[in-house]
Amino acid sequence: MNDIFLLFVFFSGTLVIALTLAFSPSVKYKIQLYILGIICIISLAVVLLTHGIKKVNSDLSRILYNSRPKSAQDVYTLLFKKYVDGCMAVRNFKDQVIPKIDCCIWMELELCPAESQRILNSRNYRQISLQQSDSLNFLSPYYDRPVWWTPQVLGDSLTKYHFIFKNGNEQSLFMGKDSTHIYLCDKAF
């Protein structure tokens, strides 16, 4: 920010000098005006490039950090905060390689009942009871799912917990009667 303020002061002073020189009939003053203009353009380019490079570097480092592979535990913690130790085991996991382009985070989890309840209490999920025989219908929105993502194996009756975030992203949890085996789909639109 100091660079921009100094640049503003420099340009203000230069403008006053340039206006003074511009109304002078002497060729000597006109050459000084051109040199002053070149100095202003070069200093502006240096400041803009310096700030631009810093911005590009910070954006690139953020993109690289966000696109690096994350562990299932890291993703789980991002979605639901820190889990109770010993209460979470990941059976299968597929992360979004490129968020917003890859549709979903997919997980198959084993949770203790206390951890399942903690998750369900964390948001105002809409609860939907489903029958295994209706799996073709309730799985149709999940067309991009991995082969192992099969909530229909949870039993004859299962429950879908669904939440829509303010930004339009969705989170669906499928649980069987015992609520310890969970299939998660976190969609980013």
Mean pLDDT by 10 residues, the chain (189 residues): 62 66 67 72 71 67 68 85 83 80 86 90 91 74 83 86 90 88 87
Q: Quick one: 60 and 149 in the same domain?
A: no
Same structural domain, 61 and 113: no
CB 92 within 8 A of CB 146: yes
Q: What per-residue confidence (pLDDT) applies to 99? A: 64
Q: Given this model, what pLDDT does residue 19 score?
A: 65
Given 42, 67, 92, the domain boundary residue is 67
Please give the model's pTM, rounded to 2 decimal places.
Answer: 0.64
> 20 and 36 in one domain?
yes
Number of independent structural domains in the chain: 2
Predicted local distance difference test score (pLDDT) of residue 23: 67
In this prediction, residue 95 carries a pLDDT of: 86
Contacts of 14 (CB under 8 A, 6+ apart): 36, 39, 40
If you compute the radius of gyration of the chain from its CA atoms, what whole number of angstroms results? 30
All residues at 6 or more sequence positions from 98 whose CB lies less than 8 Å from its CB, including other chains: 67
Residues 56, 21: one domain? Answer: yes
165 and 107, same domain (yes or no): yes
| Helix intervals (H) in the chain | 2-22, 27-67, 72-80, 113-122, 135-139
pLDDT for 29: 66
